[in-house]
Structure 1
Amino acid sequence: MHNVLIIGYVWPEPRSSAAGSRMIEFIELFRAQGWRVTFASAAALSEHRADLAALDVPEVPITLNCDSFDAFLSELQPDLALFDRFFSEEQFGWRVEKHCPNALRVLETSDLHSLRDARQRLLKAAQQRAGSESEKQQQGPVAAGTDELFRVMADDDMAQREIAAIYRCDLSLMISDFEQTLLQQHFGVPAALLQHCTLMLIPTATEQPPFEQRAHFLSIGNFRHAPNWDSVLWLKQQIWPLIRQRLPQAQLHIYGSYPPPKATALHNAKQGFHVLGWAADAHTVMVQARVCLAPLRFGAGIKGKLADAMACGTPSVTTPIGSEGMHGELPWGGAIAGDAEAFAAAAVALYQDQTLWQQAQANGARILAERFDRQQSGQALIARLHNLRDNLQTERRANFVGGMLRHHLHKSTQYMSQWIAAKNRNPASNDGQ
């Protein structure tokens, strides 16, 4: 294997999102093998995107529902096609199979989108039963177990689409072992189709100021990511007032790319609630904070902000959803709380108690060392890809469900895409309709 094509749902932004950091980690891993990497995306070029040219990775803008991608694919002839999230596989998977049938097809799930969507719908349903906006924000994190999550997800279009994409690919990369177990035990996805891969670009901060040199609380996250925006609302309405009752001079600095006007409108210096927008370097601001707050009421995957906090030696307070899939049986690097009162109390305790803070910092360092070993995770992935490559036909034959789904679903997707492409080539044919 020497030629890799990554089809990005978006251009990677490692300074804006955990998904962007993870994508850069894949690129660097593949380049370290001596493989050529090409990154293609139909998304608009973003202002915070990574400098792929510096990694010797060509950027190729592509178009949805356009045969020009087929010509590009036929010329490139990749040995491996990595789809960034299942939306990319739906759009381009059938084209890769048609023009490069022997290329490995690998799905980077990023996180299980259908799980995040199910939890969001459960939260909205609980809030709809409330009366006022204040009562809605009193609703705590979604606490549904795997049986209930399965019931909500199983009848939903997104779960059916996402899991179908997993079956159609030769391998799907799972960042969360919780999500991998959910897929295997409740949806019956074969273990042979999944790879637990915790790769994420988490450079440890070389200088970590001690407790007494740090100040303020911090919260960070891309505002375009729905769980992050929801966490800011919960902070504003419920959690931060409780913290300020105990610490009247406390300050909260909220960072994140793409803040909408409704977010910046929450800024209130008198309340110590500072919405500061994009941070050019998350570690620079994280390493100065004493405590990181991540009150996520729904979500999925691994939370990059919490991994960054550990790398910066910054204890964090989060919810069970925030810590999910990150620490296994190890003690959390801070505190995990399931309601606003407990969350605020834990945040204040960490902020004031130096001994507690130092123990939390040590716990975070241990989680990174034992659960996010970059070398081990990278080597395991490369070995799995080589084994797949060597036994490709046998592995595909064993995945009969995947072959069946490719045959039927890709035909319908293919015909729809070809119809749109033909329509775009001949717009006059639609006149009068």
Structure 2
Amino acid sequence: MNHILIIGFVWPEPNSTAAGTRMLQLIKLFLSQNWKVTFASPAANSEYMIDFDDLGISKIKIEINDPSFDHFIKQLQPNIILFDRFMIEEQFGWRVSKYCPKALKILNTEDLHSLRKTRQASFKNNKKFKIKDLLESDFTKREIASIYRCDLTLIISDFEMTLLKDTFKISEDLLCYLPFLFDTITPEIRNEWLDYEERNHFMTIGNFRHEPNWNSVLYLKQTIWPLIRQELPETELHIYGAYPTPKAIQLHNEKEGFLIKGHAKNTKEVISQARICLAPIRFGAGIKGKLVDAMLYGTPSVTTSIGIEGMFDEDTDWNGFVADDPSIFAKAAIKLYNDNNLWRQSQQNGIEIINTRFQKERFAPLLIDMINIRLSNLEKYRTQNFIGNMLQYHTLRSTEFMSRWIEEKTKTNAPKD
């Protein structure tokens, strides 16, 4: 039986973040193969994290820059390790390689953090994002190095898959395109949804700690929602999301119909009761969970070209409208809200996207096959990955020595009894 250790950047929160949804899907996939799953993280416990006991998996608290992890990994001896985000691989990868060298190392990117960070920096500097900016970023160099040090990297967006292969020339042997994994939306599921006439108002949702989400809320408040509200004065915009900050709560204004609702206990319920989902995302990466959820629950959406990335191509009709100009965005939202036939067609487009691009039965077996093939031919794949071996060689020295230095410094500064 395979034993997979997942080292998480945070404890998964599927009701708060798209990353949490992604991680829960992976955990359930591994459990469906009768694998033993252990989840470890240096993060503090969070309010909305999953119930590990309910899933039947072990939850272990670990420390960064601490030799206790060495003892832990030597005793556990999993044959697969999954690093959740490249920062976790940087912290623990060298320890895994040293004390568990025959374990298959998988990197789960969630999204390309370097792409999101570079786009965010370009936006804040009022510059148009260019690939040149991505190539020059130290953050990018760290993330690409992490991909090479691992035996397999999970990529959630086909846009990012193409970027890694064409721009960074990374071998496809090191990459696995794995979008969100969903069951087919059947006619029976469709018939359970509320119809157009039974739905009211607009909504958006997203963790307030995630900068693209917070920027989107401000953009709605300051620019887009006033334009919509002027034409639809009786409508409301309901904003959901975990961890609303005091600044976010202060945006709540009942007279304007701009309502900060906070954490949604039942995401499906709040999305499926709304008529339209608004997501004016101006920077980011990966697949946008709010837009996927909107399609899963039959709610058309209006978003941007960044919002649809990884979910849309020339042969696809969107689940609503796509607009980067705020006035066009607002007009599209008003039109979609008022037009029954257009709304129904948009909903059907969303069903097609889920059923063609995010099929669990299509993509899940491909990942399991790739893992099993690499487990049986690990030495061969590692020999072919010379750049990864080279980076691993230097990492085992530079990162290990830095970590050891931090350990000793911590001991020196520890209070004396």
Shorter-chain TM band: over 0.9
Q: 1:345 to 1:186 in 2, by over 3 A?
A: same
The answer for the alignment partner of 1:287 in structure 2 is 272
Identity of aligned residues (%): 52
Q: Which amino acid aligns with 1:37?
A: V
Counterpart pick for 2:223 among 238, 245, 266: 238
Counterpart pick for 1:371 among 340, 347, 357: 357
The answer for the alignment partner of 1:209 in structure 2 is 194
Following TM superposition, by how much is the alpha carbon of 1:201 offset from its aligned partner in structure 2, in angstroms? Answer: 5.9
Contact 1:257 1:278 in 2 (8 A): yes
Following TM superposition, by how much is the alpha carbon of 1:426 offset from its aligned partner in structure 2, in angstroms? Answer: 3.5
Q: Separation in 1 of the partners of 2:415 and 2:49? A: 39
Following TM superposition, by how much is the alpha carbon of 1:183 offset from its aligned partner in structure 2, in angstroms? Answer: 1.1
SS in 2 for 1:46: coil
Q: Separation in 1 of the partners of 2:47 and 2:230? A: 40
Q: Deviations over 1:155-200 (max 9, x none)?
A: 1111000000000000000000001111111111111111000134
Q: Separation in 1 of the partners of 2:51 and 2:182? A: 15
Gapped regions of structure 2 (runs ≥ 5): none
Contact 1:3 1:35 in 2 (8 A): yes
The answer for the alignment partner of 2:410 in structure 1 is 424
**Residue correspondences, number:** 411
The answer for the alignment partner of 2:169 in structure 1 is 188
Q: Separation in 1 of the partners of 2:306 and 2:248? A: 23
The answer for the alignment partner of 2:23 in structure 1 is 23
Q: Which amino acid aligns with 1:51?
A: D
Q: Separation in 1 of the partners of 2:202 and 2:414? A: 59
The answer for the alignment partner of 1:158 in structure 2 is 139
TM-score (norm 1): 0.93
SS in 2 for 1:375: helix
Once superposed, what is the RMSD of the aligned Cα atoms?
1.5
Q: Deviations over 1:331-357 (max 9, x none)?
A: 111111111011101101110000000
Following TM superposition, by how much is the alpha carbon of 1:268 offset from its aligned partner in structure 2, in angstroms? Answer: 0.6
Q: Which amino acid aligns with 1:192?
A: D
TM-score (norm 2): 0.96
Q: Deviations over 1:73-114 (max 9, x none)?
A: 011101100000000000000011111111000000000001
The answer for the alignment partner of 1:316 in structure 2 is 301
Q: Deviations over 1:207-228 (max 9, x none)?
A: 2100000000000000010000
The answer for the alignment partner of 1:110 in structure 2 is 110
The answer for the alignment partner of 2:387 in structure 1 is 401
The answer for the alignment partner of 1:362 in structure 2 is 348
Q: Which amino acid aligns with 1:263?
A: A
Counterpart pick for 2:250 among 255, 265, 274: 265
Q: 1:201 to 1:73 in 2, by over 3 A?
A: farther
Q: How does 1:291-370 map to 2 (within 5 A)?
A: 291-328=276-313, 329-370=315-356
Counterpart pick for 2:238 among 241, 248, 253: 253
Following TM superposition, by how much is the alpha carbon of 1:203 offset from its aligned partner in structure 2, in angstroms? Answer: 8.8
Q: Deviations over 1:384-405 (max 9, x none)?
A: 1011111111111111001101
The answer for the alignment partner of 1:134 in structure 2 is none
Contact 2:183 2:361 in 1 (8 A): no
Which moves more between the two structures, 197-206 or 70-79? Answer: 197-206
